[in-house]
Amino acid sequence: MLISLPKVRGIYRYNVSMSKITWLNVGGQADVLFKPRDIEDLICLIKNTELPISVIGATSNIIVRDGGIRGITIKLGKEFAYIRCKDNNSIVAGGAALLSNLAYFAGEQQISGLEFLVGIPGTVGGGIEMNAGAYGSDIASIVQSIKAVNLEDGNLYEFSSKEIGYVYRGHNLSRRWIFVEAEFKGVGSEHGIILSKLKEVIDKKNKSQPLRGKTAGCIFKNPKDYQAWKLIDESGCRGLNSGGAKISKKHCNFLLNHNNATAFDLENLGNKIKDVVKDKFNVELEWEVRVLGSY
């Protein structure tokens, strides 16, 4: 398949097997994987192609279907992984910076409030997109502003936290975006106190989540007034499997690639869980994991 692509300074890779780079180790090929050099390079690509565009980050929260991803898949690389102090307990981070690295960096700078990020496997861009959160805190509580490139017109925009319009595990910005930078605000604290909080978050995660299996974190968002894991558990689905996919016995809102699962196995099991919970509790579970690509 020949694809005409604009001339850029970034890197194009062709027919990339997504099963080799996603956390769940499933998925067909992406036609083109593109890593831009900088924001200008990213803008150049978007403005000069009519191919469909998808965006991935650390791939810790996605299922790529077995048919792969058509068009261009953008992944921000090391050029977007910077983290630096600004002023007055503010930190600026690129969209490819890992949330865990951001948490540790904040600790080194004696800035508190970002400790919860150490337990979230993902990037700043992905965290901004889904308002990632854990243990009662979320991105909305610490982000001050973001820079984002629109995937339709290719222009760069800047939004305040209020303009983003955060909601639980999402935001109210219309259209599609790739988040390239964010500014976060914490509060001053002692290094030792922050280290203690970081350790507490890590300990909680180790005790409650399946860390050694191939997983993509929580499958479903918590419905209003409910906890997704509890609905799944009380529906009798703890440990349920389909093909090579399995619901974790340790935390039943975690979906595992237990035995060479396909993307179909994982998505099919997730949809079965939705149906069972709906039948028993009349509650509609909503995917937290993003599903990309074609069958």
Annotated catalytic residues are 169, 218, 288
Whole-angstrom distance, CA of residue 32 vs CA of residue 5: 10
Residue 218, classed as helix, strand or coil, is strand
> How buried is residue 50: exposed, middle or buried, by Cβ count under 10 Å (0-12/13-18/19+)?
exposed
Whole-angstrom distance, CA of residue 219 vs CA of residue 209: 13
> How buried is residue 138: exposed, middle or buried, by Cβ count under 10 Å (0-12/13-18/19+)?
buried
DSSP symbol at 98: B
Angle, alpha carbons 238-204-229 (nearest 5°): 25
CB of 111 closer than 8 Å to CB of 187: yes
Whole-angstrom distance, CA of residue 190 vs CA of residue 275: 48
Q: Which residues contact 15 (CB under 8 A, 6 or more apart)?
A: 29, 30, 31
Whole-angstrom distance, CA of residue 84 vs CA of residue 106: 9
Whole-angstrom distance, CA of residue 205 vs CA of residue 184: 23
